[in-house]
Amino acid sequence: MPTYPRDDSPKEIARKIKEGRGQGEKGNYKPWILTHEITSDGNSPVAWSNKLGRNVHLFSDGEYHLWCILEYSQNVVDYWEQYPLLGVETTMKIAEEHGIRHPKVPRRKDRSIRDPKVLTTDFVVSVMVNGTVETHPISFKYSKPLHDQKAVGSNTLEDLTALGKIELERLFWQGLDHKLRIITEQDVPFSIWQNIEQANSKYTIDQTSAEIQDIALYLTGRVTSQTQPLNEITTDCDVHMGYPKDSGISLAVAWHLIAHHKWTIDLTKLVDPSKPLELISYSI
């Protein structure tokens, strides 16, 4: 589990608030904790959000996989990662009222002093549901330690400290009439985040809008009417458009179309370019 080199003293909290941490929307939001401010045995990815136009700070591979889905979903309007539950007096009061041990952290310069930890929720998500924007706080936790214990640490549903923190989060959000959702790696299928990750990598490509449109028309016509493997169709398209046969340009456009929801596919089926691709719908 990540450890935080900076303390949660009143001075440190005031500094972060002054910096705008935990504040703002979309591209202007600043997470309470940034990945370079933590030390961790696992991965702490920083991902670029095309939806929000900013870097997103994530503290595990599992958070990254979940982020892929939030980033891709057209129903997600905005999201705030590493969102602080302020003020700390509120979570302290909740802990006292419910007999829960509130996490504390030692100060950096005097480790004999331990301050109440500012709790954070992994994601707070604005979701459009039937024309209404709803707020969904989400806590990501691994269901159990994986084969590589260092990649997960104690941040699992089998860890009593993590469970105590989740309960404090739940009660905090309940007080604001929001339900905390707990998501584990089992809720994020490999095929879904893999497909989205590949599509996201081609969200922006070098071709002009006119070139993309020409390639899209060719590919869509072939993919929807033939049962050839996708990579054979994209290679034929490259040749047809005058690109080098092994350029991969048309395959990149195929992923680009998925990234921009021009092609709708079953994300639960891992895309294999060596096999035919089935489109659920398309808009070119």
Which residues, at least 6 apart from 67, have a Cβ–Cβ distance to it below 8 Å?
A: 47, 56, 58, 81, 123
Q: What dihedral angle (degrees, nearest 10) is formed by the CA atoms of 266, 271, 274, 276?
A: 10
Question: How high is the pLDDT of residue 40?
Answer: 62
- Which positions of the chain have pLDDT values less than 70? 1-6, 39-42, 145-155, 157-158, 160
**Upstream peptide bond of 87 is cis (omega within 30 degrees of 0):** yes
Q: For the domain with range 10-187, which CATH number is right: 3.40.50.720, 3.30.70.980, 3.40.1350.10, 3.40.50.1370?
A: 3.40.1350.10
Q: How far is CA 4 from the centre of its chain?
A: 21
Instruction: Write out pLDDT tens, residues 141-199.
Output: 998 766 555 544 456 766 767 888 999 999 999 999 999 999 999 999 999 999 999 99
**What are the extents of the domains in the chain?**
10-187, 190-282
Position 133 scores a pLDDT of 96
How many C-beta atoms surround the C-beta of residue 40 within 10 A? Answer: 17
Task: Name residue 134's amino acid.
Answer: E
Tell me the CATH number of domain 190-282, given options 1.10.10, 3.30.160, 1.10.150, 2.60.40: 1.10.10
